[in-house]
């Protein structure tokens, strides 16, 4: 396994958000982490990324990364796209993308042109400040920015949140493209459809723990878990 | 006209000096939220370093070396002091820098004595550049203008064209995100603090001989720098620039206009005599309070527009 | 020493280690000295302290008074009246007969008031206040006190000296002063004496600036130049004076600067060579006075300090203070404040430069000669290693500055 | 027929170029327990912030108890009888639990900005706070600093502060977010109890909570209310299912 | 009786404070030490001032850089009132002069608070700094109210005393200061328990939540600021009675900074923190400055050490011991403390010696002073004292580190036990 998380705990102030999470992602794999709001999915992502102090074991490519600084973890090969689209508003679209690069001028699987070909909108507005982009464009930009750093695993937190259906499809296409290029994805989602469609495996989280782990088919079959933890 | 043109030039020179001091503080304050009381101390250190260095190797090497030394001092303060204090909150940081300012002042006194030191304009620049309506414009002032303009350009280019600058801008708004993209944000903080201190040091190098290099110079320059930064607005270098020039010009032109509130009232046919209530306040002329106008403006702008002139967020 | 040692115990080791001043035999006559010794104005107190110490050593070498030596006990007042009053309390606790203070009329006013009240309330433990440089005229007029002796000319007298030193060809002057009690009184007195002694002189500008707030004086210089003034008269001190003169010289303004304080520590350094022949200062003493007068003994005395401290000796006039004290204590025959004060009244001494001086009985104001120095190249003793020094441009004698006063002195019975 | 407790007419809100709330119409009659559901980012919390006065609305009108809230700061909307809780726990962390609740009570009991009443002597007030603490099952944590409580306890305290003032309209923003099962059940009971006879508007993700409590449910998707109906009808609404979970067919 | 039992600490403090000056009593001459009394009166005044500052900083989370403005303006008002009383224009007992100062502070707190409390956090701090600069500049410019540089002088000896005391001696004034300090401290303590006081806490913790329970945080800040002005003004009124003069430096930034330092050093965690801090600050400034030239440096170092290692302040540090004390095992800390003492003293000694040596080599020598310990002059140019200082500092630091580690272990163990005990009961 490329990423292995064992018995991960995290505290937010006094509240025990993660209460022993185990999960794993293998190379080139797309894994979804599902669950309702507030069950700790985002915190799990942040803990892996070092943005929230983690307690427990996190190994990436065989090396323990728990306790490292976020930038060290990024350099180890994990990319992270937060849920709240943190574009750097005063920088242009292109500059935002540039900052995704780990080193100036060193490109990996993704180049500027790839991004602009996939999202012509961004290409047209490459010299505009990112702050004036629409919500959807910002979402695409955040994802592409992380990809520029050529991570081997990218953690994407709710990429479709608050997007119009047309844009949701775009996100789906981008995810496909990422997978095609061989980058593993840990996707946090609420929309079952997308997750079921693209994931190799899924985890369902509830109350700070993993409550289900299995293939899309298994989850589709397991009505009880879906009713209890996911659906209306 | 004569007075106007000369005042304009003077205002610009002073404004640019303020800008050199304030730009570093703006970066530090907007990025790290640190009200750095030791900033003006770096200005003083810059002047003293430059004085000592220029005794041995001359002014021009000092122009480079002194700011670098100041930057190193700044980096040390950030790495071994501020970073530890950070988790205790902003008041703790502020008091920490306050303590640093006290120590620097005393250390300067202990090293260079209590009296002004003869830090002089280099001979190469010690001549009147041109005369305008009979007033000499010293070459050194032009040099100051040049250096500060160069510096403004350098900061601007550095922030917008270099990668480090982009990371700094990024870390200004979303430090977590910048670090998740692989940028070492703590190191960026140190860098910014050091750079800000170095800028203040540079201002000291070229301001120290323009003014007087003495242990009280930090104390007298301190408050006005805060005013400029706050007035210009947090997070905005442009705002800081405009505010610096504005403060420079206001203080210069306030001297020129000999008017008081009483004169204004006289226009409306009200004469102020010694027995009028508040006569003392009404008869104060503008030049007398010119140096106070910045503070007044800061209070007013904060009351009605807490983000300052061009700030991106509330002070 | 009870209070001092008590506090020390309280504060513990830190203080014990930092104790200074050395062993204090009870045989000395203690003179409390309070001025800013820390903070932004520390240079004032610092310079005074070292010069006074030199003078005291000299006086003690000449036998002190009543066989006792004088001892200077410094107190830092941080330029705050409240701290000066604490110093006063400390001095009276230790039965010191004198408290001396040189810098700041606000502190002087507080001390006069404090000394008056203390002496009224504690007739058995009185103290004399020796004013060595607070020059607000009020202090020996409206606020005059039996316990206060001023050993420096006050602002009005200095203003008169300055006006008298104004050359005939100067007809347009510009006044610029700090916007507080002292600056305002300098402004008032200059106007008065210009009107009285030099009706031909026109005041083309009159400005008050906020104290210590101006960082750039160029705008003022522009304005002054535009007014056509030939001379600038200012009571400014510290940065307000240094920066003003610097800005004027930088702008190449064809001006002469008449000051009260340019000769004090730090001034010459700040002014530099650009001030050659342009800056004048009203002063009680200059190092070149003695050689100019051909007074070898006085020159030796001055030079002694220079050799020892590698530093100018601008306050040699303080020697007069201690000579007065020496004479008064001897005359009183006891270290008793009341007796000494009576002895001081009306006392006359020939100072070390050879001029006659008097401690005027009516208002306790010293009437002495005064000089106006011009900052020049080619003098015997330069100032602060600048290569320039103070040459005497004018000497004004005691009788000429004998201004009347409005003091209604109340003497104890 | 009295005015509805809360009424929104064509309420819109934009942040910069993006419109978050796109013309919401909603009327909540007195005494109803109403839930707002919808996918993340639909604007539910923003809607709460608009009703409670935390943000000004861009256009439209909101009335609370028949009075327009236009231009009113939050505290004045609160004084109209509306009280809210926060999704991210918002308590007074350095004060004790008891004091937290008391702060919720002070205004409505008329103490206002008094600096002449000593709170220790206000027997009736303190007794009331203690009664409320017992109802919240926080009685034994009375003198603990609120910041040191467990998460679930903080959530309970959050609700406690919200209802303490006795407002007749209560807005709860995800009251059970992050709670365990048993904690959630307790919270539901608590909310049911304290909202008795009052108007309740809540945002909630836990469907058992929503269906257990709400009289009616509105579904907010992408800044618009796409359905507002009884729980049963919502459950059967295909559009809602699609918005929530995406179209399985897609 | 219960009142006595509840407030025994206050009574004890009063007795101690009344007795304390007699430690410095000069029995030979039969008089009090004016210095000690003035210093203690100063502490009393500054304690009121610091407590009122803490009404803003500790209670309401408002950092003011211009609190001295309210103190000073109160003092000016009190001075003018005294002079009016002297002139016979109005009648007011001497004992109530501080109240006049308080009302002045109240008025200016209300007016300036209107501006300042529009904002909070840094903006508030900067507004107060601006106001401070403006008022202190005005104090020099306007003769009418401020009396210019010379300030306003008064004579506190009036015939209007309620108690028939004439306040000629510092001892009488000290008693008055003590009385007012206790009244003011008690009132401020009580104020923390009022609805306003509590809501100030609430608005400090979470101003938004305060809005949603019906309060206008700005109104809270404003009233709190006004009340803080009242108490600062009382301090100012007492200041006038002690020194019989009020000058522009009472409104200066330095004075404001003193309050900030006192409150921070003492700690905002407990009501008495600022008082403790005041004692430290005043002793440092008035005591150490008499003895050492480098006192500013010590102040700077003290602050840095406090900020870095003990941001909870002195009361915070004391408060940390509470669980162990409750567990009744405080005695077990005695030995570790004693063991840490010698190395700590050594470090302190080395450091002070080093600073003093440097200070005497540069400034002191220039002033013609000699560095003397116990009457023996130390030659600052010889290597011996420098060596001693460096060795003491270095070895002390190493030793201290060792002891600190041992101390830490003991401390953690005790804390753990104490917690378990508390949990069990």
Q: Is there a single domain that holds both residue C145 and residue C163?
A: no
Domains and CATH numbers, chain E: 33-305 (1.10.3470), 321-424 (no CATH)
Residue C90 confidence class, pLDDT cut points 50, 70, 90: confident
Q: How far is CA E24 from CA B206, C4, E278, E382, in A?
A: 54, 9, 20, 38
Tell me the per-residue pLDDT of E318-363, one tens digit each, with 9 for 90 and over: 888 888 888 888 888 888 888 889 888 999 888 888 888 887 776 6
> Is residue C258, in this structure, part of any structural domain at all?
yes
CB neighbourhood size of B278 (10 A): 11
Contacts of C76 in chain B (CB under 8 A): none
> Is residue B211, in this structure, part of any structural domain at all?
yes
- Residue C234 in contact with residue C271, Cβ under 8 Å? no
Question: Does position B66 have pLDDT exceeding 90, yes or no?
Answer: yes
Q: Give φ, ψ of C147 to 5 degrees.
A: -90, 0
Q: Is there a single domain that holds both residue C218 and residue C137?
A: no
Residue B251 confidence class, pLDDT cut points 50, 70, 90: confident
Q: Is there a single domain that holds both residue C1 and residue C135?
A: yes
Q: Is there a single domain that holds both residue C30 and residue C138?
A: yes
The count of CB pairs under 8 A between chains A and D is 86
Contacts of C101 in chain E (CB under 8 A): none
Q: Give φ, ψ of A68 to 5 degrees.
A: -75, 165
Q: What is the mean pLDDT of residues B23-41?
A: 86
Question: Does position D151 have pLDDT exceeding 80, yes or no?
Answer: no
How high is the pLDDT of residue E41? 93
CA C324 – CA C330 distance, rounded (Å): 10
Question: Does position D99 have pLDDT exceeding 90, yes or no?
Answer: yes
Residue C4 confidence class, pLDDT cut points 50, 70, 90: very low
Q: Is there a single domain that holds both residue C146 and residue C162?
A: no
Check if A117 contacts D (Cβ < 8 Å): no
Of E131, E142, E296, the CB nearest to B281: E142
Check if E127 contacts B (Cβ < 8 Å): yes
Closest residue of B to E361, CA-based? B110
Q: Is there a single domain that holds both residue C107 and residue C192?
A: no
Structural class in CATH, domain D6-249:
alpha beta
Tell me the per-residue pLDDT of C325-340, one tens digit each, with 9 for 90 and over: 999 999 999 999 999 9
Among the residue ranges B119-123, B154-158, D213-217, the one predicted with the least confidence is: B119-123
CA C299 – CA C294 distance, rounded (Å): 8
Closest residue of B to A46, CA-based? B180
- Do E215 and D75 count as a contact with CB atoms less than 8 A apart? yes
Of D73, D102, D116, the CB nearest to E211: D73
Residues paired with residue D15 on neighbouring β-strands, in sequence order: D18
Distance of alpha carbon B182 from the chain centroid: 33
Got the DSSP string for C216-280? --HHHHHHHHHHT-SEEEE---THHHHHHHHHHHHTT---EEEESSTTSTTHHHHH-GGGTTTEE
Number of domains in chain C: 2
CA neighbours within 13 Å on the CB side: how many for B54? 23
Q: Is there a single domain that holds both residue C148 and residue C160?
A: no
Tell me the per-residue pLDDT of C32-52, one tens digit each, with 9 for 90 and over: 999 888 766 777 787 788 889
CA dihedral of E259, E260, E264, E266, whole degrees rounded to 10: 0
Residue at which a domain ends, from C330, C348, C368: C368
- Do C114 and E243 count as a contact with CB atoms less than 8 A apart? yes
Q: Which of C222, C225, C244, C271 to mutate to test the interface with B (most CBs of B within 10 A)?
A: C222
CA C84 – CA C87 distance, rounded (Å): 5
CA E52 – CA C45 distance, rounded (Å): 34
Q: Is there a single domain that holds both residue C143 and residue C30?
A: yes
Question: Does position B272 have pLDDT exceeding 50, yes or no?
Answer: yes
> Is residue C387, in this structure, part of any structural domain at all?
no
What one-character DSSP code corresponds to residue B81? I
- Residue B299 in contact with residue E127, Cβ under 8 Å? yes
- The two tokens of residue C392 are 């005497």
List own/partner pairs for C338-342 with CB under 8 A and 24 or more apart. Answer: C338/C126, C338/C412, C340/C97, C340/C128, C341/C128, C341/C146, C341/C147, C341/C149, C342/C411
Residue C349 confidence class, pLDDT cut points 50, 70, 90: very high
Residue at which a domain ends, from C256, C283, C310: C283
Q: Is there a single domain that holds both residue C130 and residue C195?
A: no
> Is residue C2, in this structure, part of any structural domain at all?
yes
Q: How far is CA A62 from CA A4, A5, A26, A59, A65, in A?
A: 8, 11, 12, 6, 9
Check if C7 contacts E (Cβ < 8 Å): yes
Distance from CA of D180 to the nearest CA of A (A): 6
Task: Please report which helix (H) or strand (E) contains residue E47, including its range.
Answer: helix E34-54
How high is the pLDDT of residue E117? 93
Q: What is the mean pLDDT of residues A189-214?
A: 86
- Do B176 and A70 count as a contact with CB atoms less than 8 A apart? yes
How high is the pLDDT of residue E3? 65
Of C20, C104, C181, the CB nearest to E369: C20
Distance of alpha carbon B271 from the chain centroid: 41
- Residue C132 in contact with residue C101, Cβ under 8 Å? yes
- Residue E171 in contact with residue C244, Cβ under 8 Å? no
Check if E288 contacts B (Cβ < 8 Å): no
Q: Is there a single domain that holds both residue C9 and residue C149?
A: yes
CA dihedral of D185, D190, D192, D198, whole degrees rounded to 10: -150
Contacts of B299 in chain E (CB under 8 A): 115, 127, 130-131, 134
Kindly state the percentage of chain E with pLDDT values over 90.
39
CA A53 – CA A40 distance, rounded (Å): 14
Residue whose C-alpha is closest to residue A22's, from A32, A7, A12, A11: A7
Interface of E with C in 394-423 (CB under 8 A): none
Contacts of C25 in chain E (CB under 8 A): none
- Do B128 and C252 count as a contact with CB atoms less than 8 A apart? yes
- Do A104 and B182 count as a contact with CB atoms less than 8 A apart? no
Q: How far is CA A13 from CA A43, A49, B3, D148, E117, in A?
A: 12, 18, 62, 9, 30
Q: Is there a single domain that holds both residue C14 and residue C108?
A: yes
> Is residue C214, in this structure, part of any structural domain at all?
yes
CA E170 – CA C88 distance, rounded (Å): 13
Closest residue of E to D84, CA-based? E212
How high is the pLDDT of residue C231? 94
- Do B291 and C209 count as a contact with CB atoms less than 8 A apart? yes
- The two tokens of residue E207 are 């101003």
Residue whose C-alpha is closest to residue B85's, from B45, B39, B36, B43: B36
* Contacts of residue A195, Cβ cutoff 8 Å, sequence gap at least 6: A32, A34, A187, A189, A202, A216
Mean pLDDT of chain C: 85
Check if C8 contacts E (Cβ < 8 Å): yes
Kindly state the percentage of chain A with pLDDT values over 70.
96
CA E366 – CA E151 distance, rounded (Å): 33
Q: Give φ, ψ of E154 to 5 degrees.
A: -135, 170
Contacts of C140 in chain E (CB under 8 A): none
Question: Where do the H-state alpha helices sit in A38-158?
Answer: 41-49, 70-76, 93-100, 112-118, 120-124, 135-148
Q: What is the mean pLDDT of residues D95-106?
A: 93
Check if C63 contacts B (Cβ < 8 Å): no
Number of domains in chain B: 1
- Tell me how many degrees the CA angle E27-E33-E38 measures, rounded to the nearest 5: 160
How high is the pLDDT of residue C38? 74
Chains A vs B: touching, with 3+ CB pairs under 8 Å? yes
- Do E33 and C3 count as a contact with CB atoms less than 8 A apart? yes
Which residue range is the domain that position B150 belongs to? 2-258
Chain B neighbors (3+ CB pairs < 8 Å): A, C, E
Which residue range is the domain that position C299 belongs to? 1-153+294-368
- Find the CATH number of the domain harbouring C146: 3.40.50.2300
Contacts of D91 in chain E (CB under 8 A): 205-206, 209
Q: Which of B25, B33, B37, B99 to mutate to test the interface with E (most CBs of E within 10 A)?
A: B99
CB neighbourhood size of B269 (10 A): 6
Q: How far is CA C392 from CA C155, C157, E77, in A?
A: 20, 18, 49
- The two tokens of residue A123 are 């290409």
Q: What is the mean pLDDT of residues E7-17?
A: 86
CA neighbours within 13 Å on the CB side: how many for B257? 14
Closest residue of C to E152, CA-based? C110
> Is residue B276, in this structure, part of any structural domain at all?
no
Of B135, B211, B251, the CB nearest to C222: B135
- Residue D5 in contact with residue D209, Cβ under 8 Å? no
Residue at which a domain ends, from C218, C253, C283: C283
CA B235 – CA B315 distance, rounded (Å): 10
Contacts of C218 in chain B (CB under 8 A): 6, 10, 13-14, 252
Of E33, E39, E352, the CB nearest to C14: E352
CA E266 – CA E273 distance, rounded (Å): 4
- Do B181 and A49 count as a contact with CB atoms less than 8 A apart? no
CA B62 – CA E391 distance, rounded (Å): 35
Tell me the per-residue pLDDT of B162-182, one tens digit each, with 9 for 90 and over: 899 899 888 888 888 999 999
Tell me the per-residue pLDDT of E100-133, one tens digit each, with 9 for 90 and over: 999 999 999 999 999 999 988 888 998 999 999 9
> Is residue B308, in this structure, part of any structural domain at all?
no
Chains A vs C: touching, with 3+ CB pairs under 8 Å? no
> Is residue B114, in this structure, part of any structural domain at all?
yes
- The two tokens of residue C305 are 């300090």
Distance from CA of C252 to the nearest CA of E (A): 31
CA E361 – CA B109 distance, rounded (Å): 12
Check if C109 contacts E (Cβ < 8 Å): yes
Instruction: Report the complex ipTM.
Output: 0.85
Task: Please report which helix (H) or strand (E) contains residue E67, including its range.
Answer: helix E67-86
How high is the pLDDT of residue C13? 32
Question: Does position D147 have pLDDT exceeding 60, yes or no?
Answer: yes
Question: Does position C181 have pLDDT exceeding 90, yes or no?
Answer: no
> Is residue B231, in this structure, part of any structural domain at all?
yes
How high is the pLDDT of residue C1? 35
Residue whose C-alpha is closest to residue A54's, from A38, A65, A63, A62: A65
């Amino acid at each position: 396994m490329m990423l292995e998380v064992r018995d991960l705990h995290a505290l937010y102030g006094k509240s025990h958000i993660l209460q022993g999470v185990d999960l794993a992602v293998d190379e080139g794999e797309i894994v979804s982490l599902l669950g309702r709001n507030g069950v700790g999915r985002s915190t799990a992502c942040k803990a892996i990324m070092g943005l929230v102090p983690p307690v427990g074991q996190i190994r990436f490519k065989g090396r323990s990364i728990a306790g490292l600084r976020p930038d060290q973890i990024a350099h180890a090969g994990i990319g992270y796209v937060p849920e709240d689209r943190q574009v750097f508003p005063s920088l242009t679209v292109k500059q935002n993308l540039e900052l995704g690069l780990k080193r100036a001028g060193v490109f990996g699987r993704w180049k500027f042109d790839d991004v602009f070909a996939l999202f012509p909108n961004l290409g047209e507005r490459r010299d505009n400040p990112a702050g004036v982009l629409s919500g959807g464009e910002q979402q695409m930009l955040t994802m592409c920015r992380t990809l520029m750093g050529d991570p081997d695993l990218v953690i994407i937190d709710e990429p479709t949140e608050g997007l119009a259906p047309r844009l949701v499809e775009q996100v789906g296409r981008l995810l496909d493209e990422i997978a095609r290029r061989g980058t593993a994805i840990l996707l946090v989602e609420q929309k079952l459809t997308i997750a079921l469609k693209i994931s190799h495996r899924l985890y369902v989280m509830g109350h700070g723990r993993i409550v289900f782990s299995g293939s899309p088919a298994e989850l589709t079959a397991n009505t009880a878990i879906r009713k209890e933890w996911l659906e209306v | 006209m004569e007075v106007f043109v000369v005042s304009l030039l003077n205002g610009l020179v002073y404004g640019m000096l303020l800008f050199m001091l304030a730009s570093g503080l703006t970066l530090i304050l907007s990025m790290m939220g640190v009200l750095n009381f030791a900033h003006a101390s770096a200005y003083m250190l810059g002047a003293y370093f430059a004085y000592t260095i220029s005794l041995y190797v001359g002014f021009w090497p000092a122009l480079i070396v002194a700011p670098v030394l100041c930057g190193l001092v700044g980096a040390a303060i950030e790495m071994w002091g501020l970073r530890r204090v950070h988790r205790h909150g902003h008041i703790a940081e502020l008091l920490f820098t306050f303590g640093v300012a006290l120590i620097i002042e005393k250390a300067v006194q202990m090293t260079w004595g209590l009296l002004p030191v003869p830090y002089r304009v280099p001979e190469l620049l010690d001549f009147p550049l041109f005369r305008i309506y009979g007033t000499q414009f010293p070459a050194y002032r032009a040099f100051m203008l040049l250096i500060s303009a160069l510096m403004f350009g350098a900061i601007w280019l550095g922030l917008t064209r270099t990668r480090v600058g982009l990371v700094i801008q990024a870390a200004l708004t979303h430090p977590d995100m910048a670090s998740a993209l692989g940028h070492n944000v703590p190191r960026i903080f140190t860098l910014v603090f050091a750079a800000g201190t170095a800028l203040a040091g540079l201002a000291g190098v070229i301001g120290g001989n323009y003014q007087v290099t003495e242990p009280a110079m930090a104390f007298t320059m301190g408050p006005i720098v805060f005013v400029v930064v706050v007035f210009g607005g947090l997070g905005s270098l442009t705002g800081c620039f405009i505010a610096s020039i504005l403060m420079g010009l206001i203080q210069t032109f306030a001297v020129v206009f000999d008017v008081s509130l009483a004169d204004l009232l006289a226009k409306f046919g009200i004469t102020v005599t010694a027995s009028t209530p508040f006569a003392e306040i009404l008869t104060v002329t503008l030049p007398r309070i010119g140096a106070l106008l910045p503070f007044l403006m800061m209070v007013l702008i904060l009351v009605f527009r807490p983000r300052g002139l061009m700030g991106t967020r509330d002070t | 020493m009870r209070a001092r040692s008590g506090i020390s115990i309280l504060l513990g080791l830190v203080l014990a280690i930092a104790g200074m001043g050395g062993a204090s035999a009870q045989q000395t006559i203690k003179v409390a000295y309070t001025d800013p010794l820390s903070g932004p104005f520390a240079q004032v107190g610092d310079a005074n302290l070292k010069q006074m110490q030199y003078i005291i050593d000299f006086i003690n070498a000449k036998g002190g008074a009543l066989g006792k030596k004088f001892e200077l006990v410094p107190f830092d007042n941080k330029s705050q009246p409240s701290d000066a009053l604490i110093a006063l309390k400390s001095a009276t606790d230790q039965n010191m007969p004198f408290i001396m203070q040189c810098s700041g009329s606000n502190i002087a006013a507080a001390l006069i008031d404090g000394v008056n009240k203390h002496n009224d309330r504690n007739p058995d433990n009185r103290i004399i206040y020796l004013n060595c440089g607070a020059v607000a005229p009020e202090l020996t007029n409206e606020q005059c006190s039996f316990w206060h002796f001023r050993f420096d000319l006050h602002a009005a007298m200095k203003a008169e000296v300055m006006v008298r030193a104004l050359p005939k060809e100067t007809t347009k002057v510009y006044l610029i002063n700090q916007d507080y009690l002292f600056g305002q009184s300098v402004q008032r007195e200059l106007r008065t004496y210009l009107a009285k002694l030099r009706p031909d002189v026109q005041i083309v500008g009159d400005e008050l600036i906020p104290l210590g707030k101006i960082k750039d004086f160029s705008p003022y210089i522009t304005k002054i130049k535009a007014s056509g003034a030939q001379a600038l008269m200012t009571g400014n001190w510290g940065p307000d004076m240094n920066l003003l003169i610097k800005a004027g010289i930088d702008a190449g303004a064809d001006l002469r600067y008449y000051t009260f304080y340019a000769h004090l520590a730090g001034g010459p350094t700040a002014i530099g060579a650009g001030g050659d022949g342009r800056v004048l200062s009203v002063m009680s003493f200059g190092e070149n006075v003695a050689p100019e007068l051909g007074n070898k003994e006085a020159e030796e005395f001055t030079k002694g300090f220079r050799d020892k401290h590698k530093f100018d000796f601008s306050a040699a006039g303080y020697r007069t203070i201690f000579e007065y004290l020496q004479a008064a204590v001897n005359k009183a025959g006891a270290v008793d404040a009341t007796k000494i004060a009576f002895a001081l009244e009306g006392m006359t001494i020939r100072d070390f430069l050879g001029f006659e001086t008097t401690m005027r009985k009516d208002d306790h104001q010293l009437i002495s000669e005064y000089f106006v120095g011009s900052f020049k190249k080619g003098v015997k003793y330069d100032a602060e290693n600048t290569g320039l020094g103070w040459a005497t441009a004018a000497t004004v004698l005691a009788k000429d500055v004998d201004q009347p006063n409005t003091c209604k002195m109340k003497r104890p019975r | 027929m009295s005015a509805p407790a809360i009424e929104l007419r064509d309420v819109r809100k934009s942040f910069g170029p993006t419109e978050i709330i796109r013309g919401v119409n909603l009327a909540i009659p007195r005494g109803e327990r109403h839930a707002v559901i919808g996918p993340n980012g639909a604007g539910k919390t923003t809607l709460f912030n608009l009703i409670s006065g935390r943000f000004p609305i861009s256009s439209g009108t909101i009335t609370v108890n028949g009075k327009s809230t236009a231009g009113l700061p939050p505290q004045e909307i609160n004084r109209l009888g509306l009280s809210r809780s926060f999704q991210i726990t918002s308590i007074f962390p350095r004060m004790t639990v008891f004091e937290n609740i008391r702060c919720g009570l002070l205004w409505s009991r008329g103490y206002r900005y008094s600096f002449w009443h000593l709170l220790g002597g206000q027997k009736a007030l303190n007794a009331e706070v203690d009664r409320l603490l017992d109802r919240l099952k926080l009685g034994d944590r009375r003198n603990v600093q609120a910041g040191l409580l467990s998460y679930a306890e903080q959530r309970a305290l959050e609700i406690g502060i919200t209802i303490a003032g006795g407002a007749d309209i209560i807005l709860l923003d995800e009251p059970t977010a992050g709670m365990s099962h048993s904690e959630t059940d307790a919270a539901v009971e608590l909310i049911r109890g304290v909202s008795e006879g009052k108007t309740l508007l809540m945002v909630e993700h836990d469907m058992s909570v929503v269906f257990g409590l709400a009289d009616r449910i509105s579904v907010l998707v992408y800044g618009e209310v796409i359905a507002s109906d009884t729980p049963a009808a919502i459950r059967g609404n295909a559009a809602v299912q699609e918005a929530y979970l995406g179209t399985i067919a897609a | 009786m219960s009142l006595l039992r509840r407030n025994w600490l206050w009574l004890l403090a009063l007795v101690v404070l009344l007795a304390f000056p007699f430690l410095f009593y000069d029995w030979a001459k039969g008089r009090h030490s004016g210095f000690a009394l003035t210093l203690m009166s100063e502490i009393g005044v500054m304690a009121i001032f610091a407590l009122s500052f803490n009404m803003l900083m500790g209670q309401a989370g408002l950092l003011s850089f211009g609190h001295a403005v309210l103190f000073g303006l109160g003092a000016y008002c009190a001075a003018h009132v005294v002079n009016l009383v002297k002139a016979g224009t109005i009648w007011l007992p001497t004992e109530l002069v501080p109240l006049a100062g308080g009302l002045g502070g109240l008025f200016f707190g209300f007016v300036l608070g209107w501006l300042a409390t529009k904002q909070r956090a840094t903006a508030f701090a900067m507004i107060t700094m601006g106001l401070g600069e403006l008022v202190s500049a005005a104090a020099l410019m306007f003769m009418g109210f401020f009396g210019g540089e010379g300030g306003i002088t008064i004579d506190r000896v009036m015939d209007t005393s309620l108690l028939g005391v004439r306040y000629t001696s510092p001892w009488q004034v000290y008693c008055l200061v003590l009385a007012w300090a206790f009244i003011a401290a008690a009132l401020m303590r009580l104020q923390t328990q009022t609805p306003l006081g509590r809501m100030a806490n609430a608005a400090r913790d979470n101003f938004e939540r305060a809005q949603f329970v019906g309060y206008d945080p700005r109104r809270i800040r404003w009233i709190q600021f006004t009340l803080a002005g009242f108490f600062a003004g009382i301090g100012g009124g007492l200041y006038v009675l002690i020194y019989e003069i009020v000058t522009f430096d009472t409104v200066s930034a330095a004075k404001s900074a003193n309050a900030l330092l006192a409150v921070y050093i003492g700690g905002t965690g407990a009501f008495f923190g600022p008082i403790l801090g005041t004692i430290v600050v005043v002793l440092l400034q008035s005591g150490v400055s008499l003895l050492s030239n480098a006192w500013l440096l010590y102040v700077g170092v003290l602050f840095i050490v406090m900020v870095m290692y003990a941001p909870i302040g002195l009361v915070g540090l004391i408060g940390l011991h509470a669980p162990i004390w409750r567990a009744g095992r405080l005695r077990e800390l005695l030995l570790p403390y004693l063991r840490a003492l010698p190395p700590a003293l050594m470090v302190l000694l080395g450091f002070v010696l080093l600073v003093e040596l440097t200070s005497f080599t540069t400034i002191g020598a220039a002033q013609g002073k000699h560095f003397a310990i116990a009457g023996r002059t130390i030659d600052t140019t010889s290597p011996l004292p420098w060596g001693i200082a460096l060795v003491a500092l270095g070895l002390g630091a190493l030793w201290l580190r060792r002891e600190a580690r041992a101390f830490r272990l003991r401390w953690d163990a005790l804390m753990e036990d104490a917690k378990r005990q508390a949990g069990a009961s």
